[in-house]
Amino acid sequence: MKKSRQDKALWGGRFAATPDKLVQEFTKSVQYDWRLYREDIFGSLAHARMLREIGVISSGEFAAIEKGLRQIFAEIEAGVFKWDAAREDVHMNIESALTARTPAGAKLHTGRSRNDQVATDMRLWIRHSIATDLALITGLQTALARLARKYQHIVIPGYTHLQRAQPVWFAHHLLAYVEMLARDFSRLEDAWQRADVLPLGSGALAGSTIPLKRERVAQLLGFSAVSQNSLDAVSDRDFILEYAAGGAILAVHLSRLAEDLVLWSTAEFGFIRIGDAFTTGSSLMPQKKNPDVAELARGKSGRVIGNLVALLTMLKGLPMTYNRDLQEDKERLFDTVDTVRQTLGVLAAMLADTQVNAAACERAVSDPLLLATDVADWLVNRGVPFRHAHEIVGQAVALSERRRIPLNKLPLTVWKKLHPVCDASLQKIFNVREALSRRKMTGAPGKKQVEEQLKRWEKILK
């Protein structure tokens, strides 16, 4: 198939024919990179303004380019712009449409390549995306803090190896996820800084002989710095890797939260009841109420982790500089963004429609074995070496199991046989709320400490 005049204007005169249809289908990316249209147009407007300022295009040509790009933007926003797969990608679609509207459009690509253009678009897109993600993380933290405040009087067992370990305030458990999400927030903020570098002006790989003012474009687009090596600038996708890594860690945290919610909602635990709007039924069993939202949140983490692995694998063997393999970065990035955002939003909404079963929590936390470590600490405070104290309490637990009586019901005579320091005050150890009040150090689940952390986070999250 021979090329049209517009094809020649866009692709140059090297090729006598357009790519085979199979090649077009294989190489096209417009079906997903159209999402970069906003960034592509903003980047082009900044580039055109700079070209006018250095005298490459006239004021009239700039006005025509600006008018054309704004029209295209409005059409895309309205959903009436016609994307052409034969133009391969978002960049060529927009430039082709612009050139059809004004001859000045043929000058827009002066001093730039799609290599530095797409790198710029991606950096702009990620910066905008991170700003949205940070708001969603804050939203989930707020939902957790509100649920913690609402049920701050509830105590539940803390677990290791999914076995009951020691008592903690329910609020303390939820605030653990608030802390995790704070690290996720910080990681994405850090990734934003790494994306805050302008690659435009690096050309295909070796810059340009045209006296471009890169710092002026950076100023117009809000970048705080320009790239310092043209080879690195067009091939660098570290900023996408960092975002994908941050997204994967965030997804893992969301999966862990979802797992707790799934466990707590079972009949075996019964700690929480998730609202009907965030659960589903069974096509066969009429009694079922399944925590599908939490399960999907747990499952979707695998996609996000897979996206990071796919990006790392795609990049690991690439020589300098730009290679077409890099086209594969977008679908993985877009999927990470979409999946993480959707999960953050639905979990926050679900938590707002979740209730705690105080009676079930109270039954679970009444297990005296949860305070076995407190008994060991009590012995230590009376001069017994910890390893000896650990052995003594272990023997007491074994005796309670053999006699089939709770640990707190063992007679004092039994305790005295285990160690003479034991007296009647040992029984006070088995009051759960008093036991929690003794946890006074920073970060511990003492009542005062948890209240301080709740207030701290409520202040931060405002």
Q: What is the pLDDT of residue 13?
A: 72
Contacting residues for 350 by C-beta, under 8 A, at least 6 apart: 261, 274, 275, 278, 293, 294
Topology adopted by domain 115-209+222-361? Fumarase C; Chain A, domain 2 (1.20.200)
Stretch 170-174: mean pLDDT, rounded?
98
Per-residue tokens: 359? 């009676």
Q: Which pLDDT score, from 0 to 100, does residue 7 have? A: 57
Please list the residue range(s) of the chain that carry CATH number 1.10.40.30. 364-461
pLDDT computed for residue 3 by the predictor: 52
pLDDT digits (tens, 9 = 90+) for 236-289: 999 999 999 999 999 999 999 999 999 999 999 999 999 999 999 989 999 999
Q: Tens digits of per-residue pLDDT, 130-144?
A: 999 999 999 999 999
- Asked if the bond preceding 321 is cis, omega within 30° of 0, the reply is yes
Mean per-residue pLDDT, 450-459: 97
The answer to whether 324 and 245 have CB atoms below 8 angstroms apart is: no
- The pLDDT of residue 174 is above 80: yes
Q: For the domain bounded by 5-110, which CATH number is listed?
A: 1.10.275.10
Both tokens assigned to 278: 């965030």
Element (H, E) at 197: strand 197-198
* DSSP assignment of 16-33: SBPPPHHHHHHH--HHHH
pLDDT at 9: 52
Mean predicted confidence (pLDDT) in 220-238? 98
Q: Per-residue pLDDT tens for 385-443?
A: 999 999 999 999 999 999 999 999 999 999 999 999 999 999 999 999 999 999 999 99
Location of each CATH 1.10.275.10 domain in the chain: 5-110
Note the pLDDT of residue 6: 53
Q: Which of 4, 186, 224, 282 is catalytic?
A: 282
Q: Which amino acid is residue 300, in one-letter code?
A: K
Residues 152-160: contacts with CB under 8 Å, at least 24 apart: 152/450, 152/451, 152/454, 154/356, 154/358, 154/361, 155/361, 155/362, 155/365, 155/432, 155/433, 155/436, 156/271, 156/361, 156/364, 156/365, 157/364, 157/365, 157/367, 157/370, 158/445
CATH class of 364-461: mainly alpha
The pairs formed by 315-318 with CB atoms below 8 angstroms and a separation of 24 or more are: 315/237, 315/241, 318/235
| Residue 157 pLDDT > 90 | yes
Q: Where in the chain is the domain with CATH 1.20.200.10?
A: 115-209+222-361
> Cα 162 vs. chain centroid, distance in angstroms?
26
Mean pLDDT (the chain, rounded): 96
Closest CA to 124 of 229, 31, 228, 37: 37
Mean pLDDT of 368-374: 97
Please determine, for residue 12, whether its predicted confidence score (pLDDT) is greater than 70: no
Question: Tell me: the pLDDT tens digits for 74-131?
Answer: 999 999 999 999 999 999 999 999 999 999 999 999 999 999 999 999 999 999 999 9
Q: What is the DSSP string of 308-328?
A: HHHHHHHHTTPPSS--GGGGG
282 counts as catalytic: yes
- Token digits for 402? 């053999």
- Residue 235 CA to chain centroid, in angstroms? 25
pLDDT at 18: 79
CA distance 80 to 44: 21
Q: Give residue 10's pLDDT.
A: 56
How confident is the model at residue 16, as a pLDDT?
Answer: 78
Residue 92 CA to residue 363 CA, distance in Å, equals: 65
1 falls in which pLDDT band (50, 70, 90)? Answer: very low
Catalytically annotated residue among 161, 173, 366, 400: 161
